[in-house]
Structure 1
């Protein structure tokens, strides 16, 4: 009986304990539920309090080694993180991870979630490397247990992309982030807050790469989704406002940026309070926007408050605090407080070095600022150290990023980062021409000039020479699709059979695959890095290399200068030449008759030219469109020009001196010669309009050029007489199709004698309503570079049908060959391409060169180009070209052959009392026209128009 009594008492005790445990679980569950509800309503402080009660309740009831306890601890860590208490969140998260690992191991969903959360806490604490490590571990676990088509796997992709972005690896962020975005769209649909998160993140990555238009589009999409799914008082909606404000800021739309950021700031204050990292971020952004609008006082106030919040909440060892220091430095610099600017930026630089590493773009930006501030403060030695490091770090960052970008992405990214190379370093060098500053300026210029063109050519060459037939086929398909896009853009919208946006997406996808494939053959960006010492070493003792540069000195003015080196140089020299206003004050008609321009451009360089025989120069700015090698010598005998004193080689960049040593042209020496086009002959397809009302003299049609037939025949005969295989295309056979047939197996020499055209932006706008101007691609959907390439070109047989507006057939081989069409050809075997036509050297001047025919042929792979800068005389051109080829066949190099041919034309004596027709440039030549002086072509008008680009043998 006593035993039974004890058994009953024991059972009753057990039941009571179980009931108590159940009640405890219910209390803890209720506390957790209340905390979750508070967090959903953005009351994170109350969520922390309730969650902490839940954790204590479970610990008291069941101990600290149960899954339910671990779950409560993990929730608590999240709420702590939401309140900005990252260190406590990390500690609690680590506790939860340890318990789950001990009870269930690592390969389960609970551990993966806790690991993913822990990565987030480290990220908010500014420890991005650790965040990436944990995020990758969580991704691997989810891949293994859930598979790649699960929302949690997509979220891990999203997180990993974000950590890469924080570390400055923007291309990896884009690559992984795009996967996350596409997967979420597939699994969750577009009207989903998690999808909006990935869209918003992608907008941020693209913005960092300079693609602001797409960033704004995606940012607006994310904002709209979050407004529908979360409401306007949610932190994520505020985050979208914040991001969208930054995208607008980068485009220069400061008022919109301020308006959006103010909205974000108000939400942050209401939801998170003022002592929160996200409130500080909004405040910091607003300060930047105020600075750009000139409201420095407000920028200083907001920036200081943001810094103090970050210092209190995040601590001084956080990248955001470093950012605040750097921002405040720029505000002080704007106010003229140079010592304060230097001090703050120095602190920011040291933190970025410690926290982010020297490869991070933020570190390079701080180096640039340090150089600027020290220079402004007159501390030249300090400035040069930072400028040299900045150029080096920025160059590495650019080339590494370029390696994974498509051509359009490279354009946008370069626009974002190029100011250091094309402006800032040049201004600093003018102020402080120390050895390292001079080296930085020259090396930066070598990188910047023609970077976009050279990078594209290097990638194409790597693909085409890889021996990978699949890659070659894919590249040819890419070029075919680009041509299709061109045709669609030329067509009025109502008549289009293809969607432009779909074609663009297809082309981008194809090119991206090729870029990734090219990485298996090596880095195509490495040859882009050439330093001035390599150039000096490649030159002869009596050579001089000059990089002309143009840089802004104010919003509406700029300056020309020259960077000069020789084989003996210990460092480059920097010579200020003239302001752009001084150039504008010289009438263009007097460039070649008055020494004014030579006195500004060449005479200051005399000390460096005294012992030189060959001078290699790369123009800049408006110098691209001036034959500066044929300017009158600044003093002495009338008629003496610069090329009489020195052998002047015009180059795209002086890096061509080095590349010429490495270049080996393949295949036998062959030639193709085009001339005497019958512009009225019908061709395969016709449409367009003629622009020659003021250029060629016949409205609606191109005038036949009889001298071009004779020129082609003479040149063809000369080349044949020297046993050179020649394909001669004259009259009807000189068609656009016959020229395009050279693509892929081009001869070493190509000569084209015909009409050329070049339209300026203003001229295009004047004719914008004319339907016949389709070959100028006026129907939109093209970027500025492509538009410039469609506004210059050459005329072949049958062009007049298109020029008169016969729109009966589709665009094709209609006799109008634009630079854009040329750029899609493969002319990599062409060593010399001669454009014996009007204005073939003109185009839109950009920081990357001249966008016109020369750009088209260069993109196609042609090496040396002989072009004209103005409307040329037919007979003089024929004589010049015949002599040029005669010297070429005698074994002269391209440059010397042109120099001698021009000299022969200048000195040619003609039995006549003067040539009727065009009035000569110079007074001396005009006197000759009225007398029996036989040197009919001595005026620069007849011979100086032709320039040879990259003719280094």
Structure 2
């Protein structure tokens, strides 16, 4: 009877299948309450789940089955599958904790009788992974369990693969983040899947029909990888690649084509075609996967809109009634496809006629609600319907915020990075809605709060974890952190950058790096878990009202935001009823104007923007604000994205002055900083470095009085790096292969000694200003850290891998925190590749290394160097040196936007410290120091590069 019921279910006769299972249950009553009979009830529940209006009956069946599950312990064979079905039902109804309990009971039973990696066990553990990721949003536990289970999987040392094991590898692979940071882990899993697939294929005697399911999955994944690679290759600037790298890209593409063609031939052997009947040897799920692959094939590899539509029509027709969840996935893909073609009206119709009715009849899974909200927000915006867009924008923000709020405190840094890349800016669609919303005051406060939440989200979490470790006094925990740093160094040294990595080298290196990455991931999670008891409770979200209540008369707080497609400003003033949302300009207007200048060097660009006023920044970014800023003299402001590179103080006003002449401009990483102002006190301790010899040769040249030789020849032109005053020469920029000696930093350090008289100073100069010395001096955090040296920021990985320093650190080039840093003694040989000392003694202090320092209690970090305010900007802030020092615990930063002039910088620093020590606040001392420099050097290039960040008091 049960077999007959299963046959009816597979033929989609769901009511008939349910009736037969009930009949089997009734006829076996003499058996009593056994797991076998519970399975009949649960199987009936599964059949009813395909029929609308049966929810109450499903609940009754579950309660009846659960009573048996809680009492019967005899019929062992049925236990795992029953717990699995019950868990899936609970998960589908949002009862996640109850579902977890069912999964755990099933897994514990399998462990007790040592079933090994059989079908039941694999179904249970992979179902539990999915529950943690997509239901409980607990990625930390999911990844930890995956690592534990994969270790057990590897320890079994199978003599051959089974399809059950292959299913398990696929489940793990599908839950692994697909990004550059996890590339070795992903590659390792995928190669094992490929190996296992063809191993089983060989064991089956090359029988294509038996391997249909797995060959189709492999085919679909290769097409996904091809599509990803094709999209990536279109987005990168090929001009930044060498001829060798471009040839390698062509080779990879050719190899992809060969593999896809070979797999396509196998698909034909199986009789698979998007228009033909489903072959008898292929089940429906496999055929759906094949159709999905064909949709992507005709979308990306061989674009053919008509064929894509034909395949999607077939796919939707087959799944609309038979498989609702698959139908939703096809609808999502079609919506993406239509939006990509600019057919937003079709997308809206598809949603309203197909997706929305389903959503009203069934609860959309968490994994579906987000992409639906994002797609429909984009669709409504393209159609100019901001009111319809708002509910989707709110849904997107709420869902992503809930996921991040639940997970961020528990995730490792890498997992946080992965999550940020996966979900993006939670406030993006709310901000975009604001751009065209008719009554902006209705939602401006909502958007302001969302911006406050997202900005620095990761920084807050990571800083709290680091602070907790430092507060704990747990020596074992601190030793784990040291071990983690060593492991990261080992992985970097395992693989240097090789643009022509052979397959033999890849096979040798990738498994090693994959194992190192796994050890790093496991250790990071151990650290996160062990530090949990020391972490403070998560603070409540900051609100715009709290920011408003911190303002004094004559002050304003501004969040500059990207609200697609505009730059906008959210302005809060004392006593305001809501933030004022002010459109500034179309974002492309600024970026296009900058591109037309054709300048990539920040220093040359600064001259054009602020000395020559090549772009009217006032009209683009400030003029619309003026009516709101009447009677305002002090402005606390935070920027986003491209605006983080703009020196607002140097924006010229129509009357021939600058914004710095009208306002006291106070830049912040977020205006929420006003809720946690720093306590101003005169510094008592200081660590300073300057007059650094970057090579032994420089030391000899300076000792011989040959300053010209020590400073080297500029690679850039005279016009790029100076003005008509030839006595002012020598900017603090790292040339591509050479750190020059900076003679004025000797005087700067000497002046600092005088200005900081009365403080305890630890100064290192010349060859003594090493990275190891700095680390030793920072074992006790000083009030002030001052580094007068070269700084660097490499904008992208393509540029980085052309530099010797990064060629030996290929694993790091995708990390912006590794591409920003400062140079200390003996950095020259490391930078040019002549030497490869340990990372903590190589003379190059990267932002990533800075983040691991302990600067809790440090009032100010001054980076008297070039471009130290720059980095890669994401929705939650800038990733570069400022991020590193803030993460390390520094309160305020004095950093630069472009390559600074040696002499004018020394003047600024001396004036700043003297005034600060005389009793002025940091902010006021900085304003007066800038005024001093302006008297000697009126052009903004000289007085405007530095910004004092987060000096709220």
The answer for the alignment partner of 1:880 in structure 2 is 908
- CA displacement, residues 106-153 of structure 1 (integer Å, 9 cap, x when unaligned): 25522414524634874898888576554333234445x426978565
Verify: 1:136 aligned to 2:104, yes or no: yes
Q: CA deviation at 1:521?
A: 4.2
CA distance in 1 between counterparts of 2:180 and 2:804 reads 31
The answer for the alignment partner of 1:187 in structure 2 is 156
The answer for the alignment partner of 2:322 in structure 1 is 313
Verify: 1:751 aligned to 2:720, yes or no: no
CA distance in 2 between counterparts of 1:141 and 1:174 reads 22
Which range moves more in the overlay, 938-947 or 450-459?
450-459
Which of 167, 175, 182 is equivalent to 1:197? Answer: 167
The answer for the alignment partner of 1:776 in structure 2 is 806
CA distance in 2 between counterparts of 1:488 and 1:310 reads 48
Which of 595, 599, 603 is equivalent to 2:619? Answer: 599
Verify: 1:516 aligned to 2:525, yes or no: no
Q: CA deviation at 1:222?
A: 2.9
The higher radius of gyration belongs to 1
CA distance in 2 between counterparts of 1:243 and 1:120 reads 29
The answer for the alignment partner of 1:894 in structure 2 is 922
Verify: 1:659 aligned to 2:676, yes or no: yes
- CA displacement, residues 558-599 of structure 1 (integer Å, 9 cap, x when unaligned): x53323223333333333333334454365333213372122
Q: CA deviation at 1:949?
A: 1.8
The answer for the alignment partner of 2:235 in structure 1 is none
Matched residue of 1:591: which SS? helix
Alignment check: 8 A CA contact 1:845 1:851 kept: yes
The answer for the alignment partner of 2:941 in structure 1 is 941
The answer for the alignment partner of 1:590 in structure 2 is 608
CA distance in 1 between counterparts of 2:628 and 2:496 reads 50
Q: 1:228 to 1:631 in 2, by over 3 A?
A: same
Q: CA deviation at 1:837?
A: 2.1
CA distance in 1 between counterparts of 2:180 and 2:443 reads 27
Verify: 1:392 aligned to 2:398, yes or no: yes
Verify: 1:706 aligned to 2:743, yes or no: yes
For residues 462-861 of structure 1, what are the structure 2 equivalents within 5 Å? 462-486=468-492, 499-521=512-534, 526-527=538-539, 529-550=541-562, 553=565, 559-578=566-585, 579-585=587-593, 587=597, 588=605, 589-593=607-611, 594=613, 596-632=616-652, 634-636=653-655, 638=656, 640-660=657-677, 669-681=684-696, 693-694=715-716, 702-720=739-757, 723-761=758-796, 764=799, 768=802, 774-785=804-815, 788-800=816-828, 802=830, 806-807=834-835, 813-861=841-889
Verify: 1:118 aligned to 2:85, yes or no: yes
Q: CA deviation at 1:802?
A: 5.0
Larger RCO of the pair (alpha carbons < 8 Å, separation 6+)? 2
The answer for the alignment partner of 1:932 in structure 2 is none
The answer for the alignment partner of 1:862 in structure 2 is 890
Q: 1:391 to 1:285 in 2, by over 3 A?
A: farther
The answer for the alignment partner of 1:905 in structure 2 is 933
Verify: 1:341 aligned to 2:333, yes or no: no
**Length-normalised TM-score, structure 2:** 0.75
Q: CA deviation at 1:503?
A: 3.0
Matched residue of 1:704: which SS? coil
CA distance in 1 between counterparts of 2:332 and 2:12 reads 35
CA distance in 1 between counterparts of 2:392 and 2:22 reads 54
Verify: 1:229 aligned to 2:200, yes or no: yes
Q: 1:277 to 1:624 in 2, by over 3 A?
A: same
Alignment check: 8 A CA contact 1:90 1:118 kept: no
Which range moves more in the overlay, 839-848 or 871-880?
839-848
CA distance in 2 between counterparts of 1:196 and 1:341 reads 36
For residues 52-91 of structure 1, what are the structure 2 equivalents within 5 Å? 65=30
The number of equivalent residue pairs is 853
Which range moves more in the overlay, 724-733 or 265-274?
265-274
Q: CA deviation at 1:885?
A: 0.8
Which of 405, 412, 424 is equivalent to 1:406? Answer: 412
Q: CA deviation at 1:223?
A: 4.9
Alignment check: 8 A CA contact 1:283 1:306 kept: yes
Matched residue of 2:488: which SS? helix
Which of 440, 444, 449 is equivalent to 1:438? Answer: 444
Matched residue of 1:676: which SS? strand
For residues 29-108 of structure 1, what are the structure 2 equivalents within 5 Å? 65=30, 105-106=72-73, 108=75
For residues 244-393 of structure 1, what are the structure 2 equivalents within 5 Å? 244=221, 248=225, 251=228, 263=267, 266=272, 270=278, 276=284, 279-280=287-288, 283=291, 302-303=311-312, 305-314=314-323, 319-320=325-326, 334-337=343-346, 338=348, 341-342=351-352, 344-351=354-361, 354=363, 356=365, 360-375=366-381, 379-393=385-399
Q: 1:413 to 1:735 in 2, by over 3 A?
A: same
- CA displacement, residues 673-726 of structure 1 (integer Å, 9 cap, x when unaligned): 222224444899xxxx99963376999754433321221122122212xx3222
Matched residue of 1:745: which SS? coil
Q: 1:93 to 1:715 in 2, by over 3 A?
A: same
Alignment check: 8 A CA contact 1:158 1:181 kept: no
CA distance in 1 between counterparts of 2:411 and 2:76 reads 36
Which of 168, 172, 176 is equivalent to 1:206? Answer: 176
Q: CA deviation at 1:860?
A: 2.9
The answer for the alignment partner of 2:217 in structure 1 is 240
CA distance in 1 between counterparts of 2:846 and 2:11 reads 66
Alignment check: 8 A CA contact 1:177 1:201 kept: no
Alignment check: 8 A CA contact 2:682 2:919 kept: no
Matched residue of 1:734: which SS? coil
Matched residue of 2:610: which SS? coil
Q: CA deviation at 1:951?
A: 2.1
CA distance in 2 between counterparts of 1:132 and 1:116 reads 10
The answer for the alignment partner of 1:3 in structure 2 is none
CA distance in 1 between counterparts of 2:697 and 2:153 reads 55
The answer for the alignment partner of 2:600 in structure 1 is none
Matched residue of 1:781: which SS? helix
Alignment check: 8 A CA contact 1:651 1:950 kept: yes
- CA displacement, residues 31-59 of structure 1 (integer Å, 9 cap, x when unaligned): 98xx99x99xx9977999xx99x999999
Q: CA deviation at 1:622?
A: 2.9
Alignment check: 8 A CA contact 2:789 2:865 kept: yes
Matched residue of 2:938: which SS? coil
CA distance in 1 between counterparts of 2:279 and 2:45 reads 15
Alignment check: 8 A CA contact 1:346 1:370 kept: no
Q: 1:111 to 1:818 in 2, by over 3 A?
A: closer
- CA displacement, residues 498-547 of structure 1 (integer Å, 9 cap, x when unaligned): 954433322211101122234444577x4494333332233334322222
Q: 1:890 to 1:347 in 2, by over 3 A?
A: farther
